[in-house]
């Protein structure tokens, strides 16, 4: 039996059986190094890139130690953003589906405190949330951590970057001293080292090197003089390669907004994602990008952390990342699952020092490549494959994905193959439909009924 097999771990039969049904057979490097320590109850500091499998690592540790019959909060996972918290909670529920009567609750901003407090009154085993909202509940007394046995800080470096130091300190103050603490971070700056010294007890450190798979990611660098040159280069490369999905990384929120607006004005289906957006707009942008209603997402590193998009075709660095490890994580979002990925970086003379650091980490000489022929600027951007329709009703109105599919595929409707991803939240739902069948789909939903009643629907644009 391989040492990297999940079956080699002292997990329950139900957990192992569920892992097998999910096709989780061999552990990733970070799982193989950290899980034996986590299952023993050790405090662990784990450093690994996005997509390394860290969520499953700490989740299996949480589930291994969980006492289901004791209906109180036993584990707390803190994440920097609501998007990542939702993603982590979904992974926990998936890995825990063989355990009966387990309750996982998310506590994030963007939704009222009251209903969350009501849910807490009914109890939970595992809490996943963002630092500010967890702090709010602790201050109002609606969250009790006295029975906590496992605390997880996920993407700890990003939480510090986003200014959550005080909120994290408040949470730590409310946690029992006798607990297991797991700290996961893509990078390990001084601030993280200080937190680790303060809140962990004799931690074991696990590090998975942040490296590029040169076989699956083709990196190209282009010399530019200013932002006008960057935009021209971006348009030329988008028109030449026509990626189905790409992320353009900018270093500031202002740049994100400017680049996204410029692309949209030139006919590209581009969306902005940054911390100043309202939560509803952030959610909507992520839904549209994930369901192929937009080909391009322009984002800051913090906003895109935890982004869970399959088969990302290309990554563009509008500016060189401030840190070479951040560059590695940006580029590592493409070329996954055996597919070929493209990564393009624009740099100027001011970036000489950062380029030298990148040469060290990439173990190659970086030279400027020639941009495509300027005639490509005349090429019309390809429209998105799908278009998103929003329904003003969701889980609170008992709407399920199957109801939406049924409404779309009835008499004179569209086929299942013409329906994309469906997302149902508490008060609204989103469904992606193929562009050429939008009119039929919109008519079916606007004139038809869901759960025996009509709901307001709209096409999401802009």
Q: What is the pLDDT of residues 95-132, one digit of tens each?
A: 999 888 899 999 988 788 999 999 999 999 999 999 99
pLDDT score for 246: 94
Q: Poorest-confidence range of 37-46, 157-166, 266-275?
A: 157-166
| Integer Cα distance of 42 and 462 in angstroms | 49
300 with 177, same domain?
no
232 with 142, same domain?
no
255 with 350, same domain?
yes
Residue 30 belongs to some domain of the structure: yes
pLDDT score for 362: 83
Residue 300 belongs to some domain of the structure: yes
Confidence band, pLDDT 50/70/90 cuts, at residue 1: very low
Residue 1 belongs to some domain of the structure: no
pLDDT score for 170: 93
Number of H helices, E strands in the chain: 17, 17
298 with 422, same domain?
no
Decide if pLDDT at 347 tops 90.
yes
pLDDT score for 194: 85
Mean pLDDT across the chain: 89
Among residues 356, 378, 400, the one where a domain terminates is: 378
Confidence band, pLDDT 50/70/90 cuts, at residue 140: very high
Residue 429 belongs to some domain of the structure: yes
Residue 81 belongs to some domain of the structure: yes
Contacts of residues 305-310 at CB distance under 8 Å and 24 or more positions apart, as own/partner, are: 305/50, 305/80, 305/81, 305/84, 305/155, 305/158, 306/50, 306/79, 306/80, 306/81, 306/83, 306/84, 306/87, 306/88, 306/155, 307/83, 307/247, 307/333, 308/87, 309/245, 309/247, 309/333, 310/336, 310/337
Q: Poorest-confidence range of 227-236, 323-332, 410-419?
A: 323-332
CATH number of the domain to which 302 belongs? 3.40.50.300
Across 270-275, average pLDDT? 91
Q: What is the pLDDT of residues 14-69, one digit of tens each?
A: 999 999 998 888 898 899 999 999 999 999 999 876 667 889 999 999 999 999 98
151 with 300, same domain?
no
Among 321, 293, 296, residue whose Cα is nearest residue 235: 296
More confident position, 234 or 329: 234
Among residues 321, 355, 378, the one where a domain terminates is: 378
Across 319-341, average pLDDT? 78
94 with 243, same domain?
no
Q: Is 459 helix (H, G, I), strand (E, B) or coil?
A: strand
The pTM assigned to this predicted structure is 0.66
More confident position, 26 or 296: 296
pLDDT score for 457: 96
Across 212-239, average pLDDT? 88
Across 323-346, average pLDDT? 80
CATH number of the domain to which 399 belongs? 3.30.70.330
Among residues 172, 207, 242, the one where a domain terminates is: 207
Residue 404 belongs to some domain of the structure: yes
397 with 285, same domain?
no
pLDDT score for 330: 83
154 with 201, same domain?
yes
Contact call for residues 368 and 221 (beta carbons, < 8 A): yes
Range of the domain at 420: 386-460
Residue 456 belongs to some domain of the structure: yes
Confidence band, pLDDT 50/70/90 cuts, at residue 210: low
Q: Please give the share of the chain, as a percent, with pLDDT higher than 90.
A: 60
Confidence band, pLDDT 50/70/90 cuts, at residue 375: very high
Residue 302 tokens read as 């913090």
pLDDT score for 218: 87
148 with 85, same domain?
yes
Across 362-375, average pLDDT? 91
| Integer Cα distance of 320 and 359 in angstroms | 13
pLDDT score for 51: 64
pLDDT score for 215: 60
Decide if pLDDT at 214 tops 60.
no
234 with 312, same domain?
yes
More confident position, 51 or 248: 248
Decide if pLDDT at 4 tops 50.
yes
Across 80-92, average pLDDT? 88
pLDDT score for 441: 95
Decide if pLDDT at 430 tops 70.
yes
Confidence band, pLDDT 50/70/90 cuts, at residue 393: very high
Residue 212 belongs to some domain of the structure: no
235: part of which helix (H) or strand (E)?
helix 227-241
411 with 323, same domain?
no
What value does the CA radius of gyration of the chain take, rounded to a whole number of Å? 23
Across 128-153, average pLDDT? 95
Among 48, 55, 9, 129, residue whose Cα is nearest residue 325: 48
246 with 284, same domain?
yes
Look at the chain and report how many structural domains it folds into: 3
């Amino acid at each position: 039996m391989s040492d990297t097999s999940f079956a080699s771990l002292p997990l329950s039969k139900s957990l192992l059986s569920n892992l097998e049904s999910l096709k989780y057979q061999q552990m990733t490097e970070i799982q193989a190094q950290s899980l034996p320590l986590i299952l023993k109850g050790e405090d662990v500091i784990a450093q690994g890139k996005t997509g390394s499998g860290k969520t499953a690592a700490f989740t299996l540790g949480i589930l291994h130690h969980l006492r289901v019959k004791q209906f109180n909060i036993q584990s707390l996972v803190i994440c920097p953003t609501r998007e990542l918290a939702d993603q982590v909670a979904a992974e926990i529920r998936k890995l825990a589906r063989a355990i009966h009567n387990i309750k996982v609750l998310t506590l994030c901003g963007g939704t009222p405190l009251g209903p969350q407090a009501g849910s807490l009154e009914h109890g939970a085993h595992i809490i996943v949330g963002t630092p500010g909202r967890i702090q709010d509940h602790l201050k109002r007394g609606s969250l009790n951590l006295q029975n906590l046995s496992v605390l997880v800080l996920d993407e700890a470096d990003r939480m510090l970057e986003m200014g959550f130091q005080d909120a994290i300190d408040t949470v730590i103050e409310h946690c029992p001293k006798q607990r297991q603490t797991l700290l996961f971070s893509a990078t390990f700056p001084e601030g993280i080292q200080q937190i680790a010294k303060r809140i962990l007890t004799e931690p074991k450190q696990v590090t998975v090197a942040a490296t590029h798979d040169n076989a699956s990611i083709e990196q190209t660098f282009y010399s530019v003089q200013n932002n006008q040159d960057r935009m021209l280069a971006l348009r030329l490369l988008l028109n030449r390669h026509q990626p189905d999905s790409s992320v353009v990384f900018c270093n500031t929120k202002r740049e994100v907004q400017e680049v996204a607006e410029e692309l949209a004005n030139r006919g590209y289906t581009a969306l902005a994602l940054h911390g100043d957006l309202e939560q509803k707009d952030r959610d909507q942008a992520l839904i549209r990008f994930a369901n192929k209603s937009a080909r391009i997402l322009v984002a800051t590193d913090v906003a895109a952390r935890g982004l869970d998009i399959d088969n990302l075709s290309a990554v563009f660095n509008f500016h060189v990342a401030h840190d070479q490890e951040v560059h590695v994580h940006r580029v590592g979002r493409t070329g996954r699952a055996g597919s070929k990925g493209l990564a393009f970086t624009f740099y100027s003379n001011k970036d000489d020092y950062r380029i030298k650091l990148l040469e060290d980490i990439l173990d190659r000489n970086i030279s400027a490549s020639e941009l495509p022929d300027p005639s490509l600027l005349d090429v019309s951007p390809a429209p998105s494959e799908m278009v998103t329709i929003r329904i003003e009703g969701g889980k609170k109105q008992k709407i399920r994905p199957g109801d939406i599919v049924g409404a779309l595929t009835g008499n004179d409707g569209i086929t299942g193959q013409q329906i994309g991803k469906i997302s149902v939240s508490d008060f609204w739902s989103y469904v992606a439909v193929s562009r050429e069948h939008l009119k039929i789909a919109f008519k079916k939903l606007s004139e038809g009924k869901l759960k025996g009643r009509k709901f307001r629907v709209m096409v999401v644009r802009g």
